[in-house]
Structure 1
Amino acid sequence: MKLTLGTVQFGIQYGISNTSGIPSDLALKEILQEAQVQGITKLDIAYAYGNAEERLGFLAENRFEIITKFPILTTSDALRTSFEDSLSRLQQNSIYGYLAHNADVLLQNPDLWTVLQEFKADGKVAKIGYSLYQPEQLEQLLDLQCVPDMVQLPFSILDRKFQEYLPQLKALGTEIHVRSVFLQGLYFMNPQSLPEKLRSLSPSLTQLQALCKEANCTVGDAALNYAVTNPYIDEVVIGVENASQLRDNCTSIKNWQPVPDLISALEALEIEDKNLLNPANW
């Protein structure tokens, strides 16, 4: 299964369309059990996700490969401390991936890349890298010879700013993880009921929903499989509110049948104000 389970909503209230809040321990156990049943092997976590690291350290029971992310830091000692603290909260001696939560921290403090390489050399992490928000970050880091084993970047039907970089990253041997395939749930909302700040997205969202209806598929099916079927993408990070939602997403992938001309029609949709595609601006 080409999915990584995102865990931000396990520690903080997250998502523009999330009405369920933070799941209970029982609900979280059910989600993790469903993930295991569905063949999902990776969890995406971060220091910034409230107490998600602690909860998953207690409940994940070493059943998954862990990818976590560190916050804004300025010194090598601070990074070493943050890393060890994350390992302690996760109850792990080593993890699969360790990423800068925002690539800017490495641009501002490039010496931190050496520390990440030390973690990898010591066998405490298998893959190092960074989470990206803008293509300029990737270009600048590659210029600094910070070639990542793994990146996480936004990618969805309406947000394709990294699409041209995917072949380059794959040629470098980078494992590519994408997030925000549903734009935090924006795709499921009523275009006429968007918050004022997002009102200009209403026409494109209306078109997106109409195209999917015409193709006899749901917006969720189209958005998820648009990323999953991309040959350059290794993992699609999604968050869920309950086990049933996760099961439905996995069923969507297993049952997906390509719809002729749908992809080209979806890719013809353009957003003028690209800043609105970044949930951080909401």
Structure 2
Amino acid sequence: MIPSRAQTPVDKLALAVVHEPERAIPAPAGAREESLRFLLQTAADSGVTRIATRPDGDGERWLGQAWPFPSPFQVSVRTLPVSDGVDRVEARARRSLERLGLPRGDALLISNACDLAGTEGRALWDRLLALKDRGLFRRIGFCATVEDGPALLARRFQPDIVQLKCNLLDQRAQHAGVLSELAALDVAVHASSIFADGLLFMNSEALPVEMHRHAPTLSRIRRRLAEARVDPMQATLAYALGLPEVSAVVASVASAAELRAVIAATHAPAPDLDWAALQLEPATASAAGPLRISSAA
């Protein structure tokens, strides 16, 4: 009998490839395609098996043209808003697979949990169930924030996956019990926005206007990490990867160089830190506070 391979932190990693000009380096089409192929091959060689996509621009098509062969990736697809109509949502999910060059996907996720809470919520979910029953997607679920009440929605719709915004600076999902509630419902939790829009990587002058009030707290957190000799990327990844209820951690990368930095930080020994002391605002049981940290991933 061949012994099974011991699980490593990279096994939890999922990549959201960033194509936006502000992150990706501008390049001619040929160079861009080669850069993407190199990024995906680097991911495959590093043991990453999950890719998270969005139906924006040409990103899906570019990925479909750049997969290594044979592709080792399990790919998740996200829906259009239900305001476009459930027929359009279903058609675009099918089209996403075509653009990605895949006969089937690992997961189909509703992009905004609010779509499930509206009048079209049940009809939308039934379309996802039908796509799963036809074998086009192995699992279905939705993306959410703490404010969306993901555990309540999970009880109602019984998803396979909830992709939830959760990171070092915003730990409400953990401390308010949302992660444990979802785990108790046997729902796989994917943590997204783990870099919190890069707030720990910015100096005070570069912060968005709405985050200026947090500048002293961010400076204090950066100072604590520096004193512990832990860089911000290592800390943000270690926090998310260390959450036992989380089965996948979605990290956004725009290049192979960024990916190599993420992989190195993922493999670094988990630091011994007081995680609760590093959040931007204290997490409360209400889990409905005003903190808003968003991200493309």
In which range does the TM-score fall when normalised by the shorter chain?
A: 0.7 to 0.9
Q: Tell me whether 1:25 sits opposite 2:33 in the alignment.
A: yes
- Name 1:130's counterpart in structure 2: 142
Q: Tell me whether 1:65 sits opposite 2:107 in the alignment.
A: no
Q: Distance in 2 between matches of 1:248 and 1:78?
A: 38
SS at match of 2:142: strand
Superposed, 1:88-237 pairs within 5 Å as: 88-108=98-118, 109=120, 110-142=122-154, 145-163=156-174, 164-237=177-250
Change (3 A) 1:13 1:152: farther
Q: Distance in 2 between matches of 1:186 and 1:239?
A: 14
Q: Deviations over 1:145-164 (max 9, x none)?
A: 21110111111111122221
Q: Which ranges in structure 2 are unaligned for 5 or more consecutive residues?
A: 1-9
Q: Distance in 1 between matches of 2:221 and 2:152?
A: 33
Q: Name the aligned partner's letter for residue 161 of structure 1.
A: R
- Name 1:78's counterpart in structure 2: 88
RMSD: 2.4
- Name 2:61's counterpart in structure 1: 54
Q: Deviations over 1:195-223 (max 9, x none)?
A: 33321120111011011011111111111
Q: Deviations over 1:13-69 (max 9, x none)?
A: 46xxx474688222211111111011110110011x321111111112433111010
Q: Deviations over 1:147-195 (max 9, x none)?
A: 1101111111111222211111112221111111111212100124323
TM-score normalized by structure 1?
A: 0.88
**Runs of 4+ in structure 1 displaced over 6 angstroms?**
none
SS at match of 1:162: helix
Q: Distance in 2 between matches of 1:30 and 1:188?
A: 25
TM-score normalized by structure 2?
A: 0.84
Residue 136 of structure 1 and its aligned partner are, at CA, apart by: 3.2
Q: Distance in 1 between matches of 2:204 and 2:75?
A: 36
Q: Name the aligned partner's letter for residue 97 of structure 1.
A: A
SS at match of 1:93: coil
Q: Tell me whether 1:87 sits opposite 2:102 in the alignment.
A: no
Q: Distance in 1 between matches of 2:101 and 2:61?
A: 8
Q: Distance in 1 between matches of 2:113 and 2:39?
A: 30
Q: Percent identity?
A: 26
Q: Deviations over 1:77-112 (max 9, x none)?
A: 223211221111111111000011111112211211
